[in-house]
Chains A and B, each alone.
Chain A
Amino acid sequence: SQTIHQWPATLVQPVGSPLSLECTVEGTSNPNLYWYRQAAGRGLQLLFYSVGIGQISSEVPQNLSASRPQDRQFILSSKKLLLSDSGFYLCAWSRSFGELFFGEGSRLTVL
């Protein structure tokens, strides 16, 4: 069966520091991969998606970047965090059709 894991679960970082959130999928090959952000009391906003290694599409211009160095690995990064980057980040995978499957989420607090 397929599983998805992301880490760290919780992160507290100062403004201006770098960020790296990692997501891996097991039990499937060539998945679509997604990074979403959920601000407090709001819905989910798609940040990045990827259909293959090295293929990244950005939905919202921002302080963040994503990379897919391996088929089932998706990384969300920032060189310098802003206060507005605080939120709950969710990684997800899907086939080319049907539902998305989400990871456990990462809570980022920027101070």
Chain B
Amino acid sequence: AQTVTQSQPEMSVQEAETVTLSCTYDTSESDYYLFWYKQPPSRQMILVIRQEAYKQQNATENRFSVNFQKAAKSFSLKISDSQLGDAAMYFCAYRTPRGSQGNLIFGKGTKLSVKP
């Protein structure tokens, strides 16, 4: 069964600095998707960034980028120039095209605090 592990329950970063959130996953599939979702105190899950496993190039969305290491099954999120609005829970998620009609499997999350 696929699993997603986020080993950092909490992280803290100074405003304007860079922080990296870790995520590892376990799967026997070769084709899948990986995501980072942000859940602010308002509680709505917001997609931050996505990565298709067949793409070697790391995805980037403005200040957010990932380090995707397929062989190591690692998918970390880097937030550059951190802002106060980045404070939230961050969830790493995995999705396979097969099984449970593409259900997302989530990690337990990392709570990110941003210090002014």
Chain A interfacial positions (CB closer than 8 Å to B) = 32, 34, 42-44, 46, 49, 51, 57, 59, 88, 90, 92, 94, 96-105, 107
B interface, by DSSP: helix, strand, loop or mixed?
A: loop
- The reply to whether A44 and B106 form a contact with Cβ atoms under 8 Å apart is yes
- The reply to whether A90 and B102 form a contact with Cβ atoms under 8 Å apart is no
B100 and chain A: residue at smallest CB distance = A49
- CB-CB under 8 A from A59, the residues of chain B are 100, 103
- The reply to whether B97 and A103 form a contact with Cβ atoms under 8 Å apart is no
- The reply to whether B44 and A99 form a contact with Cβ atoms under 8 Å apart is no
The 8 Å CB contact of B102, one of A88, A97, A102, A103, is: A97
- CB-CB under 8 A from A102, the residues of chain B are 37, 44-46
The 8 Å CB contact of B33, one of A49, A98, A101, is: A98
- CB-CB under 8 A from B46, the residues of chain A are 102
- The reply to whether B45 and A90 form a contact with Cβ atoms under 8 Å apart is yes
A51 and chain B: residue at smallest CB distance = B101
- The reply to whether B91 and A44 form a contact with Cβ atoms under 8 Å apart is yes
